[in-house]
Structures are given as structure tokens and as C-alpha cells.
Amino acid sequence: MKVIHGLKEIKEPFKHAVVAIGNFDGVHRGHQAIFSLVRDKAAQIGGTSVAITFDPHPVKVLNHKASAPLITLLEQRLELLGNLGIDVTICIPFSESFAAVTAREFTEEILVKQIGLKAIVIGKDYTFGKNRRGNIEFLRTHGERLGFEVIVADWVSLPDNLPERVSSTRVREVIGQGDVAYARSLLGRHYQLRGTVTGGRNRGGRLLGFPTANIALQDELCPKTGVYAVTVDIPDGKRIGVANIGYSPTFDDHQFTVEVHILDYSGDLYGKQIRVNFIRRIRDEQKFNSIEALSGQINQDILDARNLLSEYIQ
């Protein structure tokens, strides 16, 4: 997949561009359904499948209050879009000046003239442009005039036929509740945190006998505090492990950490990037009366994780 950072990098229109536009935070099953239509239409007309996304998230620019954490940071979002078979992703730096671009200007000058729009795939509630004046009716009206097709994707229902749709908001709620197993059914993959291993508090291995890899979060969504069975992608392959998210109440130092004990591994990961895939929540974070009691519980967590992750053990 070709990634273009900024509209100025586009040298000429793409051949018969079939476009989807959005933040695509999470690249969940609803987004995946849109991109399936994009790929199919591009194949039908011999065109180019194009995703247009934004960084930073528009809410962070337009709403100066605290905004929701991201399900996927830009690096992972681009990676997931590439995995979906999209030909080109255009990442537009979002700013207040870009937010002032009218729907008509965006459609005529950017989508049609600059990108070469021949078809656009949108969700039922999609709006764009200054004051959100662009919508399905707007696109259909201008599509007839400018020569592009408008394809409206159906919403993807939640599992178990619940009367809701898969959405980034719903994904955030589920992960925030710690139900990472259910989140997989919305995302089509396990929820993942990634980061560089940093120095911890030097007590996992020294005091407890369970060395951990600690990762610092940026602006991504973190599952509910607790203990999780995880798989971990490290430079030399995939491993299984136990992740603890929280404040280590037994030590009472009120410092939030994401730390992972990788089972049957003794290598040095300091300064290296790892990816932690959340399979299932094991338990709440607890305060223990002694280090010995905590160590005993960690042993039980490891046994529980091995059972939950048996299919991942080679």
C-alpha cells in the first residue's frame, strides 16, 4: 500500500479512484465492510482503492476538552488498512484551517480534481466539510453533476443480533470494561497495545521472581485495570504471557503501569518494540497482604493463562 502524507504529495489524480473517507479509528468490522465495497468497486472499474484518513483525530482539534483515547494510533491504523488490500491511503494533517473547507470545495477541488474520484463509499450517517454540510444527499446531487457514484454501506450489526451496530464508540466501551474477548468480535482481531519496553520499578524479577516488560502508553485506549492472558509479538517471534494493567496496590505507590510477564522467556527486550494482544481478562487487580501472597497469585495467573492460551503454544 502506498501512503501519502498530505495532499501536496499527490502529483496527479489516481486512475478511477474509489474512495472511503473517515477517521477509521479501530479499523473495526464496520470499517472493514466499507473497504470491502471499495475494493470490489475498484476491481469492477479497473480503478484505485483509496482511503482518506486524518491525523490528529479531528475531535482533538475541534474539541479542546479532553477527547476519547484512540483505539488505534496512526502507525497501526495504516498497517491495518494495508492488510485490507487498499492501494493508497492519504493521511491528511487535520487543522482548524482544514476544518473550514466547505463540503463543496472538498468535493470539487480535492476529491474530483486532485484525487480523481469516480466512486465514494460512505456509511449511512457520514457527514463532512464545514459545519458538516456534506452528507449522502449532497454527494448524490454533486455526483450526478461531477460524474461520480455514491455507494452507501449498510451498518454491521453487533454479534448476537443485538439492536446496535459496530462502532468505534461501542469498541471503546467494551475495551474500557475489560471485555477484550468480546472486543475481538467487533474488531475482527484481538485488541493490541504496542510500545517500546522501558525501565520499570525493578521489582518484578528481583522481588517477585517474575520479570516484566513495561511499556509506556501514548494516547491509545487502555483496557480496564486487571490481569489478562495475552500473546506478545517480540522481535524474535510470538510468545504467550500475562499482562497486569494498573497501580500495583500491594506496593501502594499509585503509579500506573502496563507490564507483561512473558512466559518461558529470559531475553533482554529493553528499548525494543513489542505488541501485546489481549486474549481474555483473568481477574481484577487486587491488593495482597504480603509479597508472598502476591507471588502465589501470580503463579495461579500463569497457570490460568497457560490454559486459556493453549491454542497459541507451539
**DSSP letters of 286-307?**
---SSHHHHHHHHHHHHHHHHH
**pLDDT tens digits for range 63-85:** 766 678 999 999 999 999 999 99
- Taken in order of first residue, the domains within the chain and their CATH numbers are 2-152 (3.40.50.620), 192-312 (2.40.30.30)
Give the lowest-confidence range in 153-157, 201-205, 258-262, 274-278.
Answer: 201-205
Residue 314 pLDDT greater than 60, yes or no: no
pLDDT for 290:
81
Confidence of residue 90 (pLDDT cuts 50, 70, 90): very high
**pLDDT beyond 80 at 253:** no
> Which residue(s) pair with 245 in the sheet?
226, 258
Span 288-297, average pLDDT? 86
What are 216-245's pLDDT values in tens digits?
Answer: 888 899 999 999 999 999 999 999 999 999
* The predicted structure's pLDDT at residue 46: 98
Of 312 and 207, more confident: 312
pTM: 0.91
As a whole-number percent, the residues of the chain with pLDDT over 90 amount to: 75
Length of the chain: 314
Taking the C-alpha atoms of residue 240 and residue 231, their distance in angstroms, rounded to an integer, is 4
pLDDT digits (tens, 9 = 90+) for 151-169: 999 999 887 766 679 999 9
Q: In this predicted structure, what is the pLDDT of residue 254? A: 72
Please give the C-alpha separations between residue 193 and each of 12, 73, 213, 230, 306, in angstroms, as whole numbers: 37, 9, 13, 11, 20
Average pLDDT score, the chain: 91
287 band by pLDDT with thresholds 50, 70 and 90 = confident
Grid cell locating 261: 510477564
- Residues 23-60 have pLDDT tens digits of 999 999 999 999 999 999 999 999 999 999 999 988 88
The secondary structure element, H or E, covering residue 42 is helix 29-45
